[in-house]
């Protein structure tokens, strides 16, 4: 169904109250709000047993590459290194990266001024760095394709719509990095360059267990939240059968708005029964075969 059909049906299911008339700007805006809230609720429905409904239309794939920056040290102290013009001059741009001097002596960068001078977490002591430097890292931020730093990170447009990272694969070695659990001994300060085997989705980035050798391509599968339905001819990214649940959840929300709590309780119970029964019906099996929806742990 298109958005116009959804709002009209919702209004009718609620008894056509005048304040919600979709022919008025105020009424339509409220109906559209409820439809979109219901849309997202059904898209990522969690069943009482902890399983998750997920639609294939909300999954996507992108690729990114590990990088490094190399150059010649301009000057240094025991705790700071001034980089040459190969490095960017943005304040704090390289915070979280690892700097290696002459191919070794890794240090975590914890600060950067506007003169390409980076501060390291551990003193070099009396041996002041000189020679060449290499910058590597183990984190990759989600960036818009227009971001100046996108070549060092992961391009996603828009970045705010990512829900979950499903899989990260090292394409060169044909292995999947394992997602780190909260209970895993996952160090956020590992400095030794290696081939990552674990990752964690942390805020607006993924972090690997080791800084990667440069030039390795990774494939990332992820779940995203589709944009809101805005135009009258916009359609939910799910099969028609599931759109009945959108109406039911939106009706529940509307009944609460009208303070008809008894009816809202019944609608919510019917919705939960509908979702549970759907898992056991032929329609769910068909959607699985078509690759449209699945239930995951």
* Intervals of CATH 2.40.10 along the chain: 69-136
Strand partners for 201: 206
Quick one: pLDDT band at residue 282, thresholds 50, 70, 90? very low
pLDDT attached to residue 140: 96
pLDDT attached to residue 291: 46
% of residues, the chain, pLDDT over 70:
91
Over residues 1-6, the mean pLDDT reads 95
Distances (CA, A) of 19 to 26, 246, 253, 260: 8, 21, 15, 15
Q: Each residue of 28-56: pLDDT tens digit?
A: 999 999 999 999 999 989 888 888 888 88
Quick one: pLDDT band at residue 240, thresholds 50, 70, 90? confident
CA max distance for the chain? 81
- Average pLDDT of the chain is 90
Q: 239 CB contacts (<8 Å, ≥6 apart)? A: 287, 290, 292, 293
pLDDT attached to residue 160: 78
pLDDT attached to residue 183: 63
Q: Which one of 2.40.10, 1.10.238, 2.60.40, 2.60.120 gives the CATH number of domain 69-136?
A: 2.40.10
Q: Each residue of 167-192: pLDDT tens digit?
A: 999 999 999 999 987 666 666 668 98
The region of weakest confidence among 40-44, 92-96, 159-163, 273-277 is 159-163
Q: Each residue of 59-84: pLDDT tens digit?
A: 999 999 999 999 999 999 999 999 99
| Res. 297: pLDDT tops 90 | no
pLDDT attached to residue 277: 84
Taking the C-alpha atoms of residue 131 and residue 24, their distance in angstroms, rounded to an integer, is 71
């Amino acid at each position: 169904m298109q958005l116009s059909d959804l709002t009209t049906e919702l209004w009718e299911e609620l008894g056509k109250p005048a304040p919600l008339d979709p022919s008025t700007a105020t009424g339509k805006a409220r109906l559209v709000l409820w439809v979109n809230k219901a849309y997202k609720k059904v898209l990522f429905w969690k069943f009482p047993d902890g399983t998750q409904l997920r639609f294939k239309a909300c999954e996507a794939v992108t690729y990114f590459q590990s990088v490094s920056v190399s150059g010649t040290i301009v000057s240094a102290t025991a705790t700071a290194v001034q980089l040459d013009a190969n490095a960017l001059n943005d304040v704090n741009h390289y915070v979280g990266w690892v700097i290696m001097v002459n191919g070794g002596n890794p240090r975590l960068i914890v600060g950067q001024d506007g003169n390409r001078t980076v501060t390291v977490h551990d003193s070099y002591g009396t041996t002041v760095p000189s020679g060449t430097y290499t910058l590597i890292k183990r984190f990759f931020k989600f960036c818009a394709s227009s971001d100046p730093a996108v070549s060092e990170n992961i391009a996603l447009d828009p970045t705010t719509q990512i829900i979950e990272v499903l899989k990260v694969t090292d394409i060169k070695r044909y292995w999947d990095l394992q997602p780190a659990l909260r209970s895993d001994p996952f160090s956020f300060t590992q400095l030794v360059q290696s081939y990552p085997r674990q990752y964690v989705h942390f805020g607006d980035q993924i972090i690997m267990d080791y800084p990667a050798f440069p030039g390795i391509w990774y494939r990332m599968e992820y779940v995203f939240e589709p944009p809101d339905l805005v135009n009258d001819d916009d359609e939910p990214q799910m099969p028609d059968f599931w759109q009945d649940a959108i109406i039911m959840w939106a009706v529940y929300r509307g009944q609460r708005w009208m303070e008809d709590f008894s009816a809202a309780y019944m609608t919510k119970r019917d919705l939960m029964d509908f979702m549970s029964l759907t898992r056991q019906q032929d329609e769910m099996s068909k959607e699985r075969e078509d690759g449209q929806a699945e239930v995951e742990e």
